[in-house]
């Protein structure tokens, strides 16, 4: 099962990160968390790792709708977005596929919400 959608872009890491945040905001998402994997692995394990950030993106309207039909859905929130540096300096942006994530819950009432979230996240990737 494919659980994410992605796009390779030709902008640098910081520029891509900024652009991702802007495009998410245009679609009604805010960033709740930001994890710098490279810095965390250096601090905790003293290992070097490529540039890799995980953004926890949330659209409050859709989160509220999902919580109304499945009160424990919070374990699946927020929508994770990663920005990572690939070999050769290319940058990959990957976003969770909400349809795949919600399918695992087994509540058909989440499907319509997941489809709407998926459409918005697809727009984000297309705009990069």
List, as one string, the DSSP characters of 63-87: HHHHHHH-TTGGGG-SEEEEEEEPG
Quote the pLDDT of residue 31. Answer: 98
Where do the domains of the chain lie?
A: 4-127
pTM of the model: 0.93
Q: Nearest CA to 93 among 22, 41, 44, 30? A: 22
Query: What is the CATH architecture of 4-127?
Result: 2-Layer Sandwich (3.30)
For residue 89, the model assigns a pLDDT of 87
- Tell me the CA distances in angstroms from 6 to 33, 63, 69, 128, one per residue in order: 20, 22, 28, 11
**Partner residues linked to 91 by β-bridges:** 9, 85
pLDDT per residue, tens digit, the chain (128 aa), is 789 999 999 999 999 999 999 999 999 999 999 999 999 999 999 999 999 999 999 999 999 999 999 999 999 999 999 999 998 889 999 999 999 988 889 999 999 999 999 999 999 999 99
H/E segment holding residue 102: helix 98-103
């Amino acid at each position: 099962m494919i659980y994410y959608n992605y796009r390779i872009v030709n902008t640098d890491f910081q520029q891509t990160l900024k652009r991702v945040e802007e495009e998410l905001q245009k679609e009604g998402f805010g960033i709740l968390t930001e994890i710098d994997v490279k810095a965390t692995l250096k601090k905790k394990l003293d290992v070097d790792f490529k540039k890799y950030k995980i953004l926890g993106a949330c659209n409050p309207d859709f989160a509220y709708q999902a919580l109304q039909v499945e009160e424990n859905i919070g374990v699946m929130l927020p929508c994770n977005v990663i920005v990572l540096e690939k070999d050769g300096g290319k940058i990959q942006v990957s976003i969770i596929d909400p349809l795949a994530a919600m399918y695992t819950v087994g509540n058909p009432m989440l499907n319509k919400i997941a489809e709407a979230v998926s459409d918005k996240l697809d727009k984000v990737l297309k705009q990069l």
